[in-house]
Chains A and B, each alone.
Chain A
């Protein structure tokens, strides 16, 4: 089966650093995405990892270990606007759809940034 686990909720302080973990068991792994979703809005793309290691994009970094089925999203210098749900999603190849892939999502981690 396919399963993605991430914490349901986290709380952090403005200006601090927070790490959101994601573990997965899937078949046909073809990359891992992190999305941010504010209430009532569309999920927006944050980062992508397909090889092991750290990808850094400004205040956001994402890490992947394929052998451990583990990823984390690191948010630095937290701002109030970072309060949102953070979705971990694993991409796997569709067996009969040509180059098309599908995303399998975790339940999301609701992050509350406090002053």
Chain B
């Protein structure tokens, strides 16, 4: 399924670098999400955007900064990250209304902090 596309697939950066993760959904959905997936831990919800407005910030450190310029695009800006931030970052989208539609996920960006 190519409904949700994430770039880059892999990213290695130093703790002082600034980088951005990009997510694009081609499904016409009205909500987008960032998740963090670490080994042996559940997917952790980071941010939720509904109709381009942030509706959930799950106690995420300020070194992660999301941006949703329109309903199809979602970014995660990264700066001064820590080694424990190394993980798989997954983007998802869904159509949030009275129907019971699932979230659709991208393949993720594998992030390694040196």
Query: Which residues of A are at the interface with B, using a C-beta cutoff of 8 A?
Result: 4, 31, 33, 35, 40-45, 48, 50, 87, 89, 94, 96-108
Contacts and interface: CB of A to CB of B under 8 A. Distances in A.
Contacts of A99: 50, 96-98
Closest 4 CB pairs of A and B: A97-B55, A45-B102, A42-B105, A105-B43
A98 B1 contact: no
A99 B50 CA distance: 9
B102 A100 contact: no
B4 interface: yes
| Secondary structure of the B contact surface, majority rule | loop
B7 to A, nearest CB: 14
B45 interface: yes
B56 to A, nearest CB: 6
Contacts of B105: 35, 42-44
Interface of B: 1, 4, 31, 33, 40-43, 45, 48, 50-51, 55-56, 90, 96-98, 100, 102-108
A105 to B, nearest CB: 4
Contacts of B100: 31, 48, 50
Given A100-B96, A102-B48, A42 B106 contact: yes
